[in-house]
Amino acid sequence: MKKILVAMMIMIMMCSFAFAGGASETATTEATTETATAAPVRNADKPVVFYNRQPSDPVSGEIDMETMNWNDSTFYVGFDAAGGGAVQGQLIVDYLATADPAVIDRNGDGIIGYVLCIGDVGHNDSRARTEGIRKALGTWNGTTDPGDVKEGSANVGGTTMRVVELEGRAMTGTDGSTWNANAATDAMSGWATRFGNQIDMVVSNNDGMAMGCLQASNYPAGVPIFGYDANADAIEAIGAGTLTGTVSQNVDAQAAGTLQVLRNLLDGLTGEDVYTVGITEPDQYGNKISAEMVYVPETKALLAQNTGVNASNWQQYTEGTRDAGISQSSAPTKRVLLTVYNSADNFLSSSYVPALRYYAPLLNIELNIVQGDGQNEGSCLDRFTNVGNYDAFAINMVRTNSGPDYLERLRY
Ligand code: BGC
Ligand code: CA
Please say whether the beta carbons of 302 and 289 come within 8 A. no
Give the integer Cα–Cα distance in Å for 121 and 107. 31
For residue 347 and ligand 1, the question of a CB distance below 6 A is answered with: yes
For residue 229 and ligand 1, the question of a CB distance below 6 A is answered with: yes
Atom of ligand 1 nearest to the CA of 341: 12
For residue 120 and ligand 1, the question of a CB distance below 6 A is answered with: no
pLDDT at 37: 61
**To which H or E segment does residue 57 belong?**
none
For residue 80 and ligand 1, the question of a CB distance below 6 A is answered with: no
Residue 247 neighbours by CB distance under 10 Å: 31
Q: What is the CA radius of gyration of the chain?
A: 24
Query: Whose atoms come closest to the Cα of 162: which ligand?
Result: 2
pLDDT at 320: 67
Atom of ligand 1 nearest to the CA of 178: 10
- Please report, as a single letter, which amino acid is at residue 185: T
Give, for all 412 residues of the chain, the pLDDT tens digit.
Answer: 444 444 444 444 444 433 333 333 333 333 444 445 667 899 999 999 999 999 999 999 999 999 999 999 999 999 999 999 999 999 999 999 999 999 999 999 999 999 999 999 989 999 999 999 999 999 999 999 999 999 999 999 999 999 999 999 999 999 888 999 999 999 999 999 999 999 999 999 999 999 999 999 999 999 999 999 999 999 999 999 999 999 999 999 999 999 999 999 999 999 999 999 999 999 999 999 999 999 999 999 999 999 999 999 999 998 668 999 999 999 999 999 999 999 999 999 999 999 999 999 999 999 999 999 999 999 999 999 999 999 999 999 999 999 999 999 999 8
- Please tell me the distance between residue 17's alpha carbon and the centre of ligand 1 in angstroms: 45
Instruction: Look at ligand 1, atom 6, and give the residue with the nearest C-alpha.
Output: 125
- Please tell me the distance between residue 124's alpha carbon and the centre of ligand 1 in angstroms: 10
For residue 228 and ligand 1, the question of a CB distance below 6 A is answered with: yes
Q: What are phi and psi of 170, to 5 degrees?
A: -70, -35
Q: Which residues pair with 178 in a beta bridge?
A: none
Coil vs helix vs strand at 383: coil
- Please tell me the distance between residue 95's alpha carbon and the centre of ligand 2 in angstroms: 16
- Please tell me the distance between residue 155's alpha carbon and the centre of ligand 2 in angstroms: 14
**Closest among 318, 354, 320 to 235, alpha carbons compared:** 318
Coil vs helix vs strand at 310: strand
Please state the pTM of the whole predicted model.
0.88
- Please tell me the distance between residue 235's alpha carbon and the centre of ligand 2 in angstroms: 27
**Closest among 391, 66, 385 to 259, alpha carbons compared:** 391
pLDDT at 5: 44
Instruction: Look at ligand 1, atom 3, and give the residue with the nearest C-alpha.
Output: 347
For residue 53 and ligand 1, the question of a CB distance below 6 A is answered with: yes
- Please report, as a single letter, which amino acid is at residue 116: L
Atom of ligand 1 nearest to the CA of 345: 10
Please say whether the beta carbons of 201 and 139 come within 8 A. no
